[in-house]
Chains A and B, each alone.
Chain A
Amino acid sequence: MLVPDTLQGAVMLSVIDFFLSFIVIAGIGLVLAAFPYLGRLVKVEDKDLIED
């Protein structure tokens, strides 16, 4: 186990986890921001895909 079983370990884990979560989820946000450009990459009309 990488994190020591102490209060300091718990605080360390929390700080790392909280901020890393922000960074990763911001990264996911960036990927999603690129989604509208998918249409330029792949030429598929919505009418060609089966709707729900």
Chain B
Amino acid sequence: MLDQIILFMDALLKGTGLQEIWWGNFVMIAVGCAMIYLAIVKKYEPFLLVGIGFACIVANVPGSDLIKPGGLFNYAYQGVNLLIVPPLIFLGVGAMTDFGPMIANPRLVILGAGAHLGIFVALIGAKLWGFSIQEAGAIGIIGGADGPMAIFVTVTLAPHLLPQISVAAYSYMALMPLIQPPVMRLLTTKEERLIRMQAPRQVTKLEKIAFPIVMAVIVNLFFPPVAPLITMLMLGNLLKEVGVVDRLSRTAANGIMNVVTIILTVAIGSTMSADAFLTVKTLQIVFLGLVAFVFGTASGVITAKIMNLFMEKKINPLIGSAGIASVPIAARVSHVVANQEDRNNYLIYQAMGPNLAGVFGTAISGGIMLALLGAG
């Protein structure tokens, strides 16, 4: 009788995850808890970190079937892996974004390319560290500070690095208010930070409607590899701007966006199992991501300073760092740093121009990378 009970208990024990648990799982569960803490207490990207943190915790409980094939989290991951989720995220972002600041000041769009030096510093750094050229390309795109684009490029070039790259990209985007200001202050003088920019011109409704159509044509024509993302971004924006499909626009910006955010965060978090995540490669990728953000910020500011050499009406170089993308966090950082020097200097609208151009800058870099590296 007792033998039988012990046998049953043993069989039950073997059915749990207890036998597979190791210290790495505890580390990753702590990482998941830290993410949820940062989201709740520090308000760092709560819409992303709560889901990622929770799924990370669940993924590190060995008994969980959710992350195994057939599990719901695994299906969520398939949505990312099959490149369904990132374009839908862009649809929602497009429906929420006013591209007026970018249309109003076309000269500033160049900052959307200038702030992407970090991509290439990280790419070369990754190659020096022994990553393959495709892995290095995927790591470099972290410097584009554009989560869906980083996922899109990584799934094509180096899908095995998706957990590390997506976590690094989203974490650094959340930490931009801490990473960027020291670099921005280091590269600018007080006089430069005090520059006030003139109010941009008024953009007409016709221009705002034409913008998504023109951009969708340009991107599909010249950058087919990244066209799914930008096309959906432009579709979302067209729904917003035409003004006659308000219901669809609100659905894209709210309902769809909320659903795909849950799917995306759960998918990313569920890939963070200790076996895959606790490696030297992860540390290298996290470090290279930081390097990419620092160099991207610096190159944006320096590009703005170079532009000032040729411009009659000077621009505040602090808006250069907004060209790194990560809408609207980077634009907000530019505004806050300028505002700390002069409380009456409002740079947010001007910084949004390069910030939005940065989305296209990252798409162009990603598109070129996919065209040259993706075929192998």
Q: How many A-B residue pairs lie within 8 Å, measured between CB atoms?
A: 128
- In the complex, how many angstroms separate the beta carbon of A32 from the nearest chain B beta carbon? 4
Please determine whether B204 and A16 come into contact, CB atoms closer than 8 angstroms.
no
Please determine whether B243 and A25 come into contact, CB atoms closer than 8 angstroms.
no
Interface size bucket, B side?
Answer: 35 or more
**B184 interfacial contact with A, CB 8 Å:** no
* Residues in chain A within 8 A of chain B (CB atoms): 1-7, 9-11, 13-18, 20-22, 24-26, 28-33, 35-36, 38-39, 42, 44, 46, 49-52
**B369 interfacial contact with A, CB 8 Å:** yes
- In the complex, how many angstroms separate the beta carbon of A6 from the nearest chain B beta carbon? 8
Closest A residue to B133 using CB positions? A5
Provide 10 A-B residue pairs closer than 8 Å at the C-beta atoms, listed in order of the A residue. Answer: A15-B120, A16-B368, A17-B120, A17-B368, A18-B117, A21-B113, A21-B116, A22-B114, A25-B357, A39-B204
* Residues in chain B within 8 A of chain A (CB atoms): 102-103, 106-107, 109-110, 112-114, 116-117, 119-120, 123-124, 126-128, 132-134, 136-137, 140, 201, 203-207, 209-211, 214-215, 218, 222, 240, 242-244, 357, 360-361, 364-365, 368-369, 372-373, 375-376
16 more contacts with CB within 8 A, not counting A17-B119, A25-B357, A49-B209, are A2-B375, A5-B133, A5-B134, A13-B137, A20-B364, A21-B361, A24-B222, A24-B364, A29-B106, A29-B109, A31-B214, A31-B218, A46-B205, A46-B206, A51-B205, A52-B240
